[in-house]
Structure 1
Amino acid sequence: MKNRFSRAFGRALYALASHFPCSGAKIRIGQREFRAFCARRILTFCGRHVNIERGARFASDISLGDGSSLGVRAYVEEGASIGRDVMMGADCAVFTRNHVFDRTDIPICAQGESPCLPVRIGNDVWIGARVTILPGAVIGDGAVIGAGSVVHGEIPPMSVAAGNPCRVIRMRGDGEGLL
């Protein structure tokens, strides 16, 4: 369990590191390693060889597996579990809460938030750019999520899914090649 000082120290360092160039930039100043160093002090679990890109924002109560990445300007809320070797494109958002809006006699902004519904992303998953993952979603091992998709519910393992709402297009390994 990380103490408050360790997390605060990690957050302070990450505030600086989040402005370093992307890991693919021609200028190499150890930005990838430094952002990973910060993440290990902030996250509940942070695996080895992770890649957290420029401008990524994340809660401390998440798990990030070995070899996984958070894309440029990614946003991940608390309660998310990201497996091993997950590739996440730019501008992805992982939400675990929503606004409560059932009552019509109270303004939505005064109704608060729903309880946290954890998101689980399996191992060896590729999430394209600008994907939105909604509270409670489960993405199975080996799945591929197409760019711009909105994921809710469950995406089966080894599937290729895309769209709004995200639907399975085909299964990986069926010999069809590229989409």
Structure 2
Amino acid sequence: MNKIIRLISLFFYYCFAQYLPDSYTPIFGKPSNFIRIFLCRRIFKSCGKRVLNINRHAFFGFGKNVEIGDFSSIGANCVLHPNVKIGQYVMMGPETYIVGNNHITADVNTPMCFQGKTENKVTVIEDDVWIGARVMIMPGRKIGKGSILAAGAVVTKDVPSLCVFGGNPAKLIRRRGM
């Protein structure tokens, strides 16, 4: 029965709910956000009791292994691969892209498009993280508690706790609280 509910929720999310008005639109925003969260509770592996926002056009595939904690948000036009764990109090700006895998490129005698892809890796975003607009997080990265990813950052390595990272590739800008 849960599988059927998940599939029905996926259908309604992708055919209807993702197109509803932006969560911050006066009058229609809150009900639209409520509908998206309602459906994602039935789609995701786990969904916090008080998710703040799942904005319009968020894409997460089948969402079977997506986890999101309390008071967290997914921004507009975000793309999450199907193996992501989002902690509590996470703010995600618009157009964030969390990559799940890469192409295999080891054999120079075979075209890259025929070499396949690497296995999906789990990306972990710990509690109290702020992800700016248009951030790209590469496969299997861990974003430490209390960190900030500046807008446009391309995260190619793990980010320690309480750090501000930015740039392409993302580098340490400063530590928080020091």
What TM-score bracket applies, with the shorter chain setting the length?
A: over 0.9
Structure 1 match to 2:12: 13
Match of 2:148?
A: 144
Contact 1:133 1:151 in 2 (8 A): yes
Q: How does 1:2-41 map to 2 (within 5 A)?
A: 3-15=2-14, 16-28=16-28, 30-41=31-42
* Matching residue within 32, 47, 56 for 1:54: 56
1:53-100 CA-to-partner distances (Å, cap 9, x unmatched) read: 000001311111111111000000011111011000000000121111
Superposed, 1:1-179 pairs within 5 Å as: 3-15=2-14, 16-28=16-28, 30-50=31-51, 51-59=53-61, 60=63, 61-174=65-178
Q: Distance in 1 between matches of 2:27 and 2:114?
A: 47
Give me the CA root mean square deviation. Answer: 1.3
Secondary structure of the equivalent of 1:13? helix
Q: Which amino acid aligns with 1:105?
A: N
Q: What's the TM-score, normalizing by structure 1?
A: 0.92
Structure 1 residue 48 displacement after superposition: 2.1
Gaps of 5+ in 1: 175-179
Which residue identity does 2:41 align to in structure 1? R
Q: Distance in 2 between matches of 1:146 and 1:108?
A: 32
Report sequence identity in percent.
38
Q: TM-score, normalised by structure 2?
A: 0.93
* Structure 2 portions without partners, runs of 5+: none
